Structure 1
Amino acid sequence: MEFVIVGFSLLALCQAAALPNFVLLFTDDLGYGDLGFSGHPSSLTPNLDWLAAHGLRFTDFYSTSPVCSPSRASLLTGRYQTRSGIYPGVLYPGSIGGLPLNETTIAEVLKPLGYATAMMGKWHLGYGANGTYLPTRQGFDHYLGIPYSHDMGPCRNLTCFPPDVKCFGICDVGTVTVPLMKEETITQQPVDFIDLEDAYSHFATEFIRNATQKHQPFFLYYPSHHTHYPQYAGWKSVGRSLRGPFGDALLEFDSTVGNILKTLKETRVLDNTLVFFTSDNGPELMRMSRGGNAGMLKCGKGTTYEGGMREPAIAYWSGVIKPGVTHSLSSTLDILPTFARLAGAPLPKVQLDGVDMVDILFNHGTGQRKAMFYYPVDPSEKYGVFAVRMGKYKAHYYTRGSAQSDTTPDKDCGLFTPLTYHDPPLLFDLESDPSENYRLNVKARPELVSVLQNIKDLKDGFEASMQFGESEIRKGTDPKLAPCCNPECSPKPQCCRCGTTL
């Protein structure tokens, strides 16, 4: 019990002395097996490896969706994407909808306490008419980034790796080139990928320095474009990894992490800052070696198998969080309640799906999360959740493959694997079989009957509480809403060009 007392006294001491700072690092399409500390033999991630060695590493951490926009909505609101309407699929440059403004983000939870808030990187929660859904409308004081995924624009003629290596593939066509925004203004279109990460690194440094000079607590959210396709990297990272373009992109993200840590140390706030790292969904296996690696986990992006939604995660707080490994069940949903509790901020007066992780972080305890519910890319009230994890057990009620996990030898993962209902559900022990290879035989083990019943009870209770919000994505798209730095120009989208340097 001694560490319990020490942990909570440290928490009280930190709150009494100064409000803690928060840095939230969020990669894109990164697999469970992609990092150096998770065993990849050729990934070069020295700063993430350092965080893992000196922080608390999660082995059973989940996003809420196997694709981008919905997983980001749940991260920032602590609510399943079905409640906020960020389904099915993802938002596009001309999407009419976005994360509803009545949803409360982490930034909006912290701002009333005097926090400076900033975001750099990939938003992907809507642009809308006149920038209705931009981060600056959702609690962030400052924003530098791309408002959606950086493959949502023509990329054939853009340079991804210096000096002149063009981006791999064609990305989307028929829409505007990818813009870079500062606050609500487009500063460059198309974005210069070569210098983009340097701009992010400089933005983070300036934000942290300005906040600390003002003695102001801060929240920095960095949802990176790395390692989503098409991969890119600047001069400092290109060719340095043994893993090729994917490895160079991952190294560039890792280098920005290192710069953030260096800045926190130089400004003497490292001891009062919680740094949390995780990813939005699993690897896009259809890209093969350019798409990431799920390690021992089954399938990847687009599926509700473990490879699609189970993510690497690290919590680091120098001198406060004891280094180690936790097997406690946790989720991106839990980040908002955790930050709120540590800052002493009231929770939004809505139904949250997240629970705070303080017991896990400070005591290496089991935490409050009882279950994880797996929604597919296109959730519906008709089918409900596809799978449920309770403790070490996972039950699949529906399974389906995905184009984004195609090309793998596993027939369960691919595009042509149809939606299949399972009655009784497929049951797996994820502690002994994280790869979901060996279905448990309930008939041969009668004690599992009660396990399935308990899982069903959790599922029924959760689904009874779920109120699906109006789908923001089904509101459709309007090409006129796609961001253009010269809105009156013609012909579009070709004329939407501006800026030459970051």
Structure 2
Amino acid sequence: MRDSFCGGGWAAVVEPPRASLLTGRYQTRSGIFPGVFYPGSIGGLPLNETTIAEVLKPLGYATAAVGKWHLGYGANGKFLPTKQGFDQYLGIPYSHDQGPCHNLTCFPPDVKCFGVCDVGVVTVPLVHNDKIKQQPVNFLDLEKAYSNFATNFIITSVKKNQPFFLYYPSHHTHYPQYAGTRAAGHSLRGPFGDALFEFDSTIGNLITTLEKMGVANNTLVFFTADNGPELMRMSRGGNSGPLRCGKGTTYDGGMREPAIAFWPGVIEAGVTHEMASTLDIFPTIASLAGAKLPPVILDGFDMSDLLFHKGKSKREAMMFYPTDPNKKYGLFAVRLGKYKAHFYTRGATHSSTTPDQDCSEFAVLKAHDPPLIFDLEADPSEHYPLLLDERPDIQAVLVQIKKVKAEFEATMVFGESQISKGQNPALEPCCNPECYPKPTCCHC
């Protein structure tokens, strides 16, 4: 059977889950910490890390990435997707708020973007493969360009009778939201809803293309997200529902995401509450395609039994690092089955503005000994820690959690921090590299 795969976007901020999804390894192994990459960042996802695209290429797969890369740009685009196993790329190489946006149009006819975004750097570029196609990007036409690129990639691959892997990390619904004429004003949720509506339309185009090309029954489509909502943006930042806090924290509101797997005739409709992670996408796709795994420690598990046979997940535990992991503190939290233990808690700027003071940036680092333990099935909001003195059974759970934590940390070798390599303004993408004065002259 010919297999093709479409991918979506776990962690408190952007880069860790992207690196983990593509490599099946915790971000600490590949050095994707602390924080995020910027336009002039020197580092990026190390080229010796193996991505999904790189294990599929030897099997004859066509590979493409479209949308938000955010795993480094580097000198001469050395960290772009085309250097990481992808044949083609169209997108913004980092977050679309990492450039001045106060004069840019985000909604028709000429509604300026909400906020100012990052200032003092180049405007956000649209990159095709390794060349800058447009700077600043036109947000009103961006999603149409993504949709056309992705659907053409599918059509071309099918016509060549070539299996394909399409990775689409969307900018929606990150701040500042944007939408073109076909989506603006079409939702009841304001700018956030319009942005989501536009993204949904693109996914509809991709599904329709798979159906028209007769490969829907041969294609696994998988959706997920990278981190929880940016609550500091209030209604423009999303909503974590009953989950506690949001982006930047190791509470479930910052880390826990839903997922949808779609494969007509192969995956039976239904809902599972089994635990899985974006770390598991790499080994699952490799297993389905018969690809050879790299000779490194992988932190993911093959989800095939869970997806196709309604079986149990092979994942028993989940580890939680903060946005700035280090060897001194190690894991902030560990989930084992339905129980989650917090060894450290801390708020985050990204989760400010909520009534819960433990979410705020002013909620400083707290060590918990014994750790706070929550039953996530009975208390998904992590409001009521279990009392060890009254629960001998939970004492036994804690012993097991500490064992799992120690065994995991014994295998963890921190990679060189790529983000700590710093920034060089000369590395910021500029469509007219010889122009002056920078960054304002980078316009095409």
- Shared fold by TM > 0.5? yes
**Corresponding residue of 1:394:** 340
Alignment of 1:86-485 (within 5 A): 86-485=32-431
| Percent of matched pairs sharing the same residue | 70
Q: C-alpha displacement at 1:270, in angstroms?
A: 0.1
Residues 73-99 of structure 1: per-residue CA shift (max 9 Å, x gap): 111100000000000000000000000
- CA shift, 1:373, in A, is 0.2
**Aligned twin of 1:23:** 6
Partner Cα separation in structure 2 for residue 421 and residue 25 of structure 1: 34
Q: Deviations over 1:135-189 (max 9, x none)?
A: 0000000000000000000000000000010000000000000000111000100
**Residue 25 (structure 1) shift:** 2.4
Q: Report the Cα distance in structure 1 between the residues aligned to 2:223 and 2:80, rounded to whole angstroms.
A: 23
Separation in 2, partners of 1:190, 1:421:
44
Instruction: Write the distance in 1 (CA, Å) between the matches of 2:154 and 2:398.
Output: 49
SS in 2 for 1:274: strand
Q: Deviations over 1:455-483 (max 9, x none)?
A: 00000000010000000000000000000
- CA deviation after TM superposition for structure 1 residue 287, in Å: 0.3
Any runs of at least 4 consecutive aligned residues in structure 1 with deviations exceeding 6 A, and if so which? Answer: none
Name the CA distance, whole Å, in 2 between partners of 1:175 and 1:69.
20
Q: Secondary structure at the match of 2:133?
A: strand
Q: Which runs of 5+ in 1 are unaligned?
A: 1-16, 27-62
Task: Give the aligned residue type for 2:65.
Answer: M
Whichever residue aligns with residue 429 of structure 1, its letter is D
Aligned-pair CA distance for 1:348: 1.1
C-alpha distance in structure 2 between counterparts of 1:365 and 1:297, whole Å: 26
SS state at 1:362 partner: helix
- Alpha-carbon distance between aligned partners in 1 of 2:8 and 2:357, rounded to the nearest angstrom: 33
Amino acid at match of 1:470: E
Whole-angstrom distance in 2 between the partners of 1:68 and 1:445: 37
Higher relative contact order (CA 8 A, sep 6+): 1
Shift in Å, 1:437:
1.1
Query: What's the CA shift string for 1:92-149, capped at 9, x where partnerless?
Result: 0000000000000010011110000001000000000011100000000000000000
Following superposition, the deviation at residue 417 of structure 1 comes to 0.2
SS in 2 for 1:437: coil
Q: How far apart in 1 are the matches of 2:394 and 2:136?
A: 56
C-alpha distance in structure 1 between counterparts of 2:85 and 2:404, whole Å: 34
Q: Distance in 1 between matches of 2:4 and 2:243?
A: 33
Counterpart residue identity of residue 303, structure 2: M
1:70 Cα deviation after fit: 1.5
Distance 2:402 2:361 in 1: 28
Stretches of structure 2 that go unaligned for 5 or more consecutive residues are: none
1:264, CA displacement in angstroms?
0.3
| Aligned with 1:83 (options 21, 29, 32) | 29
What secondary structure does 2:257 align onto?
A: strand
Alignment-mate amino acid for residue 152 of structure 1: Q
CA distance in 1, matches of 2:331, 2:312: 24
Distance (Å, rounded) in 1 between the aligned partners of 2:296 and 2:222: 24
Is the partner of 2:258 in helix, strand or coil?
strand
Matched AA of 2:379: D
Q: Distance in 2 between matches of 1:75 and 1:163?
A: 37
The one-letter code of the counterpart of 1:490 is Y
- 2:287 & 2:220 partners in 1: Cα distance? 13
- Secondary structure at the aligned position of 1:324 is classed as coil
Equivalents in 2 of 1:66, 1:110: separation in Å? 28
CA–CA distance in 2 between the matches of 1:462 and 1:352?
12
SS class of match (1:379): coil
Does residue 1:68 correspond to 2:32, yes or no? no
- Summarize deviations over 1:52-91 as a string: whole Å, max 9, x none: xxxxxxxxxxx1x200012211111000000000000000
Aligned length: 444
Secondary structure of 1:279's partner? coil
Per-residue CA deviation, residues 241-276 of structure 1 (Å, 9 max, x unaligned), is 000000000111111110000000000000000000
TM-score, structure 1 as length reference: 0.88
